[in-house]
Structure 1
Amino acid sequence: MLGKILLTLDAVGLLLGAPLADYNHTHIFNPRWPPHAKFHNGQTISLSVILGIATLYYTWRSSFLPSSTPPMLARQRERDSLRTAAFTGSIYWLAGLTAILYPGTAGTDPEFGTGFPQGPGFTMFAVLAILGCFLETRNGVGDVSKTRSN
C-alpha cells in the first residue's frame, strides 16, 4: 500500500505542480514571453495534468476489478498497471530534468533569479513514482509462480 501512496503523491504533484508553478506572472502571463513560448507552456501544463490523471488511474485501477477476476489475471493486470503508473508518473519529471541540457535553456528567467530550482522537486517526484512501483511489485504482485503454488 505504501507504494500506491507514493504513486498517488506523485500524481498529485503532476495534477497541481505545473498549473501552480506556471500559470502566473513568471510564465504564462509573463509579457516578455512570445506567444509560441506561451503555447509550449500551455502544452506543458496540460501534459502534466493528463499524466497525473493517467497515473492515478493506473495506480488504482486494479482496485476496481470484479471479484470474479481470476487471481492470476488480477495479479498480472495489477503489475502491468503499476508499471504503467510508474512510467506515466515519471516521464514528465525526467523530461524536466533533461530540459536543462538543451542549448540556451535556464531554470528561471533572469528577472526571477538563477539556478535550477525545479531540479530537487523533479527528482523527488520521479523517485516517488519509481519507488512506489518497486515497493508494490517487489513481493510478487503479478507473479504467475505465486498463483500456481496456491
Structure 2
Amino acid sequence: MLGKILLTVSATALIFASPMADYNHTHIFNPRWPPHAKFHTGQTITLSIALGLMTLFLTYRPDLASTSPRDAQILRKESLKLAAFTGSIYWLAGLAAYFFPGADGLDPEFGGPGFPQGPVFGGLGFCALLGGWLG
C-alpha cells in the first residue's frame, strides 16, 4: 500500500503542482518570454498532466476479470513498474534540464540564478521510483 501512496503523491503533483508552477507570471504570462518558450511551457504543462493521469491509471488499474489470479498478479506488478516510469520521468527530466547550456531554475528577475526545484523534483521522482519498487 505504501508503494501506491508514493505513486499517488507523485501523480498528484504532476497533475496539479507542476502546471501551477508554470501557468503564472514567471512562465507562460512572462512578457519577456518569446512565443517559442511559451510553446514549450504549454508542452511541459500538458506532458505533466498526461503523465500524472497515466500514473494514477496504472497505479489503480483494475484487474481484468477474465485473467487468472497469477496473470492478475503479473499485470499488477507490470502496471506498477510502468507507473514508476510515468510518475518519475517528468521529475528526472526536470533535474536533467538544469544541466543544459544556459539553463537555470530561476530567471534573474525572480531571484536567479538558482535551482529551488531540484529538491522537489528529486524527492517526487524518488517517491515514484520507490513506490514502484515497493509495489
TM-score category (smaller protein): over 0.9
Q: Write the letter of the residue equivalent to 1:8.
A: T
1:31 aligns with 31
Q: Tell me, what secondary structure is at the counterpart of 1:29?
A: coil
Mapped contact 2:54–2:86 kept (Cα < 8 A): yes
Residue segments in structure 1 that go unaligned for 5+ positions in a row: 137-150
How many residues are aligned here?
134
**Percent of aligned positions with the same letter in both sequences?**
61
Q: Tell me, what secondary structure is at the counterpart of 1:108?
A: coil
Length-normalised TM-score, structure 1: 0.87
Deviations 1:108-128 (A, max 9, x none): 110001210110100010000
For 1:125-144, what aligned pairs fall within 5 Å after superposition?
Answer: 125-136=124-135
Q: Write the letter of the residue equivalent to 2:26.
A: T
Residue segments in structure 2 that go unaligned for 5+ positions in a row: none
Q: Tell me, what secondary structure is at the counterpart of 1:126?
A: helix
1:46 aligns with 46
How far did residue 133 of structure 1 move?
A: 1.0
Distance in 1 (CA, whole Å) between partners of 2:125 and 2:101 is: 23
Q: Tell me, what secondary structure is at the counterpart of 1:24?
A: coil
Distance in 1 (CA, whole Å) between partners of 2:78 and 2:19 is: 29
Larger radius of gyration: 1
Structure 1 stretches of 4+ moved >4 Å: none
Distance in 2 (CA, whole Å) between partners of 1:76 and 1:59 is: 13
2:9 aligns with 9
Aligned-residue Cα RMSD (Å) equals 0.9
